[in-house]
Amino acid sequence: MSTLDEADRREYYRIDDVIALEITPLSAPQAASTEVLQDASPLFNLLSELHLSEFESQHLLRQISERDRTLSSYLKTLNKRVDLLSQVVAQTVLGKIGELQPVKLSEGGIEFQHANAYSPGTHLSIKLVLMPQALGLLLRAKVTHCTPRSGQFEIGTEFEAITDAQRQLLARYILQKQAQARRLAREQNEAAEEE
């Protein structure tokens, strides 16, 4: 994937979020590959596959709900149970990834603070767990900027070789977070007006 220019990067919605994040520089052969990255942790890979398969089956669930509401309700209940199990797995994975940290996230990339400096053009493996959905993604990214900030480095990246399913999962997560923020703001405004 070619480097996105500033206008293209701006077309994506951005959110401020707090997520679990693990950054690893890619070797030259890894950076040249377009294969989907696999993590050394089987739990993390299972978590990622679980969310991708759930996303890919959503259209089937919509079709079933048009024909058979009882079956659809049952499948939604099963889906909720699987989501709960994925959150248990995510808690296990979070212990291995590290502390939650603030980031700026979009479909096109991620900006974060890091102890190490990475020069623009460096290729990274970015492992992230988005909460509370426990959405685990392992993505390729290329550093676009690295600026010293408060004893650390502010690093901006753009995602590379991201699959459509991964991009759509990110988009859905971002839209849900935005809707949640709007709901919270509206509730706070209503509470303030009542006082």
Is residue 150 in a domain? Answer: yes
pLDDT (0 to 100) of residue 9? 47
Which residues partner with 14 through β-bridges? 106
* Integer angstrom CA distances of residue 70 from 13, 14, 37, 56: 37, 38, 39, 21
Q: Which tokens is 74 given?
A: 């049952």
CATH code: domain of residue 23 = 2.40.10.220
Q: Is residue 31 part of a domain?
A: yes
The range of the structural domain enclosing residue 80 comes to 6-194
118 vs 186: CA distance, rounded Å: 40
Measure CA 150 to chain center.
Answer: 26
Predicted local confidence at residue 93, as pLDDT: 67
**Contact predicate 136/46, CB 8 Å:** no
Residue 51 lies in a domain: yes
E strands, 117-151, are: 123-130, 135-149
pLDDT value of residue 33: 76
Residue 113 resides in a domain: yes
Q: Considering only the C-alpha atoms of the chain, give the largest distance between any 2 of them, rounded to a whole number of Å.
A: 62
Q: What is the pLDDT of residue 95?
A: 66
Q: Closest by alpha carbon to 143, among 165, 161, 120?
A: 120
DSSP calls for 99-121: -EEEEEEESSEEEEEESS---TT
Provide the pLDDT for residue 39: 67
The residue type found at 123 is H
Low-confidence ranges of the chain (pLDDT < 50): 1-4, 8-9
- In the chain, the number of structural domains is 1
Which of 157, 162, 127 is CA-nearest to residue 142?
157
Residue 89 near residue 43, CB atoms below 8 Å: yes
Asked, for residue 98, whether it belongs to a domain, the answer is yes
CB-based contact 138:37 (threshold 8 Å): yes
Q: Rounded to an integer, what distance in angstroms lies between the CA atom of residue 38 and that of residue 41?
A: 8
Read off the tokens for 57.
Answer: 């089956």
In-domain check, residue 1: no
Cβ atoms of 108 and 159 closer than 8 Å: yes
Average pLDDT, whole number, for the chain? 82
Global pTM? 0.72
